[in-house]
Amino acid sequence: MSGSSIERIAELDTYSRELAHLAPDAIKAFGTLSREAQKSGALDHKVKELIALAIGVTSRCDGCIAYHARNSLRAGATRQEIAETLAVAVQMGGGPAMVHAADALKAYDEFVAAAAAKAQATEA
């Protein structure tokens, strides 16, 4: 994945809004599915985000990696939890998953740095 994950999400969000305008019923249904699938149950939300991140890696989906790296951080995942999740993704996905796992760790680090910068700016 080249470029910033933060920029990738911004770009995807722009076109996702346009797609929601063009195909509202389908996109609304996908949003409902996503919210329901991510609700805590036997698995908590953080675990579900980590699973989604691993699937994004093995599916080689750059946008999925960006969203779920960000959402894993928001759900409280640590860098070590990300690394262990990515190790399982590499185990299941082989060499291509290794490349995308490195991208996923980079994405997570970008979101940590952005959150820290935002917090620091708020304190100043």
pLDDT digits (tens, 9 = 90+) for 57-102: 999 999 999 999 999 999 999 999 999 999 999 999 998 899 999 9
Residue 39 — φ and ψ, nearest 5°?
-65, 145
> Domain tally for the chain?
1
CA-to-CA separations, 66 to 2, 25, 42, 106, in angstroms, rounded: 11, 25, 25, 9
What φ, ψ does residue 73 adopt, rounded to 5°?
A: -60, -50
Provide the residue range defining the domain that includes 50. Answer: 5-123
Question: Model pTM?
Answer: 0.84
What amino acid is encoded at 30 in this protein?
A: F
CATH number, domain with residue 24: 1.20.1290.10
- Looking at residue 2, its pLDDT comes to 64
pLDDT digits (tens, 9 = 90+) for 3-38: 899 999 999 999 999 999 999 999 999 999 999 999
Conformation bin of residue 76: beta by default, left when phi > 0, alpha when psi is -120 to 50: left
